[in-house]
Amino acid sequence: MCRLLAYLGLPVSLEQLLYKPEHSLIVQSYQPREMISGVVNADGFGMGWYHLQKDTAPFTYKNTLPIWNDINLPHISRYVESKCVLAYVRSATPGQAVDFANCQPFDDQNLLFIHNGRIENFRQTLYKEIRHILDHNFYQKINGSSDSEHIFSLLLSQDYNKLQPLEYALRSTLLTLLEMAKCYQVEVSANTIISDGKRLIASRFASNTPAPSLYWLKDDPTFPKSVIIASEPLFFGNWTACPENSIITVGENCDIQVQQL
């Protein structure tokens, strides 16, 4: 399992998000409180953010080192500011390589994507099934071997647009995974966060077992006019647990909507 973090709101430095909170993502990398499998998140990390002023593709920074061992990150985090940030620390599923191709966030055009969870026995079960239903363009987008990137490509392959937006694509993706999991009698868990730089769309989902933890916090005095979504609360505050098997949408005005699957 991994630990996720997403922010949408007023401009904030990466340092304030990653280092300042008492139970920050850095702390969660070596001392998580609510992981249901694994002990530490030492198999790499990554973050993505959007430019404050220009409407450009997002930027990413990744490493296969444990986040606490990256000597460049403290300096970068003091420099970078953004209104929208996604970040994660990784606990690799056994059998999945620890390399840059498997580092999140994954990106495509203006989208960023992070995932916490797993597909049970992925290589022996849904790996081939997911690839089989992808057309050539989306198949070619897969660079690594992780279940996370395959879930992202499956999401990209959904026919979403202004009338059927990202929430639709995510819902369709999760339901497709659920049907595949039933066929192969395996478990799937998919806490995901997607962003286009203006909104956050997240899921807390599992097929059979309890879903991994996920919370949201809105308009905390430390982060006013903002929403944070995180695997674990970063500090004491009015955190709300996301309902299991739900999709959470954070709009441009930081309004929150929750839809059950």
- 242 a catalytic residue: no
Q: Which two tokens stand for residue 175?
A: 């339901």
* Predicted local confidence at residue 162, as pLDDT: 56
Q: Out of 2, 84, 103, 242, pick the active-site residue.
A: 2
* Predicted local confidence at residue 158, as pLDDT: 87
User: Nearest to residue 53, comparing CAs of 83, 15, 8?
Assistant: 83
Contacts of 53 (CB under 8 A, 6+ apart): none
Q: Does this model's pTM top 0.85? A: yes
The architecture that CATH gives domain 3-260 is: 4-Layer Sandwich (3.60)
If residue 30 lies in a helix (H) or strand (E), which one and from where to where? helix 25-30
Q: Catalogue the E-assigned strands of the chain.
A: 3-13, 45-49, 59-63, 81-89, 106-108, 111-119, 188-195, 200-204, 215-220, 223-230, 240-241, 246-250, 256-260
Contacts of 11 (CB under 8 A, 6+ apart): 52, 81, 82, 83
- Beta bridge pairs of residue 216: 229, 240
Q: 3-class SS at 115? A: strand
In angstroms, rounded to a whole number, what is the distance separating the alpha carbons of residues 116 and 58? 20
CB 3 within 8 A of CB 88: yes
* Predicted local confidence at residue 118, as pLDDT: 93
* Predicted local confidence at residue 36, as pLDDT: 81
In angstroms, rounded to a whole number, what is the distance separating the alpha carbons of residues 145 and 168? 25
In angstroms, rounded to a whole number, what is the distance separating the alpha carbons of residues 172 and 136? 20
In angstroms, rounded to a whole number, what is the distance separating the alpha carbons of residues 74 and 120? 35
User: Nearest to residue 1, comparing CAs of 194, 147, 200?
Assistant: 147
Block means of pLDDT (10 residues each) for the chain, 261 residues, are: 95 97 96 88 95 92 96 96 97 83 95 96 94 90 94 89 79 96 95 97 93 97 97 98 97 96 89
